[in-house]
Amino acid sequence: MSLANIKDSEVDIVIGALHSDLTSFMNEWRPIFSRFHLIIVKDPDLKEELRIPEGFNIDVYSKSHIDRVVGSSSSIVFSGYSCRYFGFLVSRKKYIVSIDDDCIPAKDSKGFLVDAVAQHLANLATPATPFFFNTLYDPYREGADFVRGYPFSLRSGVTCALSCGLWLNLADLDAPTQALKPAQRNSRYVDAVMTIPSRAMMPISGINIAFDRGAVGPALLPALKLAGEGNLRWETMEDIWSGMCVKVVCDHLGLGVKSGLPYVWRKDRGSAIESLKKEWEGVKLTEEIVPFFQQVRLPQTAATTEDCILEMATTVKQQLGPSDPVFTRAAEAMVEWVKLWKAVGSGSSPL
């Protein structure tokens, strides 16, 4: 397949604002973000006014916008980290890059600033190879290629629909691991990108990702909400659930997912020990969630991402719902999300 030519005008950068003062964050990213359109979604639980420096092309959305589009009775909750999904919903661009507001640009092993947006777009613009693993990783990167024995019939690859970046300093460890190793920080910059094999599950973090909204946008959704969910990344599972959904969709529709570059630098915040009290529910649920997504298969009649999410919602309710009401609520939110996505896309939902 041919390489995509992604224009700046086709990209939205979505930022979920959990902090009121974005001055330092925005100025750190200014060399990278300034040429793109930005969508900032204020956490509806955040009371203070946002402080955003001038010089950016930005649309800001707050609780009033969310209520106008979603309504107060919706089963979908956009609080905390889930506020970013409202940005995914209202975007009109083909590609979305999403970076958390506790991250700043990283530096590579040579000390140069990493353009995370450019690397994400490079990942999406080049094919993925999910059906046969290439031991030189991404064969489309400069200096790499397909190795001996790689079938020529598979070398054209498939569309890459999702790019999952990584983190320096504070890696995305779970609360038990971070509590056990409080001083551990990630300083390893691995200059590599790889396609995740088809049918292999992975924990996708929403901290630093990019995706083809037209291909898989409806699969990036805020569905699984923990009872004691907080506003620290350790205290949520919404992106892990969403990641499982989008990976199943990609596998079913013959799309690819890449992981590796680009890195961002995550700042330290919060207490892993305190967060463990809230995340422990999610740690236990993972032992049910992963086997479910590993075995779930969608019918051939599911030809679009929306179809796939509705099929999964039915299966979630039937197979996981009886074990815990959190799964039933997740299934209901998945159905509601597809309806909302269609309504906003058709223009029938007010903005």
Beta-strand relationship, 208-212 and 95-99: antiparallel
Q: Which of 156, 14, 190 is nearest to 95 (CA)?
A: 14
Q: What is the dihedral of CA 327, 331, 333, 337, to 10 degrees?
A: 150
pLDDT tens digit sequence for 96-131: 999 999 999 999 999 999 999 999 999 999 999 999
Q: Please enumerate in sequence order all residues whose Cβ is within 8 A of that of 132, keeping only pairs 6 or more positions apart, or say none.
A: 150, 151, 154
Give tens-digit pLDDT for 268-310.
766 776 666 666 677 788 999 999 999 999 999 999 999 999 9
pLDDT at 250 over 90: yes
**Nearest partner of 1 among 139, 127, 144, judged by Cα:** 127
Q: Tokens standing for 142?
A: 């400069």
What integer pLDDT is reported at residue 74 of this predicted model?
A: 74
Which sign, positive or negative, has the C-alpha torsion 261, 267, 272, 276?
A: negative
C-beta of residue 129 within 8 angstroms of C-beta of residue 195: yes
The string of pLDDT tens digits covering residues 55-96 is 999 999 999 999 999 886 678 989 988 999 999 999 999 999
Q: How does 6-24 read in b/e, with b if 16+ C-beta sit within 10 Å? A: beeebbbbbbbbbbeebee
Q: Could you tell me how far CA 217 lies from the centroid of its own chain?
A: 10
Of 203, 201, 282, give the one whose Cα is nearest residue 236: 282
pLDDT value at residue 276: 66
Domain at 10-346: CATH code? 3.90.550
What pLDDT is attached to residue 269?
Answer: 67
Please give the average per-residue pLDDT across 238-249, as a whole number. Answer: 96
Write down the pLDDT at residue 127.
Answer: 97
With beta carbons less than 8 A apart as the criterion, state whether 209 and 165 touch: yes
The DSSP secondary structure of 132-155, one letter per residue, reads S--TTS-TTSTT--PPTT--GGGT
Please give the mean pLDDT across all residues of the chain.
Answer: 92
Q: Please give the structure tokens belonging to residue 159.
A: 């569309």
pLDDT digits (tens, 9 = 90+) for 160-170: 999 999 999 98
Both structure tokens of 106? 């990283």
Q: What is the pLDDT, as a whole number, of residue 73? A: 62
Strands 37-42, 57-61: pairing kind: parallel
- What is the per-residue pLDDT for 173? 83
Please give the pLDDT value at position 68.
92
Q: Residues of the chain with pLDDT > 90: what percent?
A: 79
User: What residue ranges do the domains of the chain occupy?
Assistant: 10-346
Reported as a single tens digit per residue, the pLDDT across 321-335 is 999 999 999 999 999
Q: How confident is the model at residue 174 (pLDDT cuts 50, 70, 90)?
A: confident
- Max distance between CA atoms of the chain, in angstroms, equals 58
pTM of the model: 0.95
Q: Which residue has the tokens 């609360």?
A: 175
The confidence score (pLDDT) of residue 226 equals 81
Looking only at the bridges linking them, the beta strands covering 256-266 and 160-169 are: parallel
Residue with tokens 């995914």: 88
Residue 341 CB coordination number (10 Å):
20
Q: Please report which helix (H) or strand (E) contains residue 230, including its range.
A: none
Dist. CA 207–CA 6, nearest whole Å? 22
Measured between its terminal Cα atoms, the distance across the chain in Å is 37
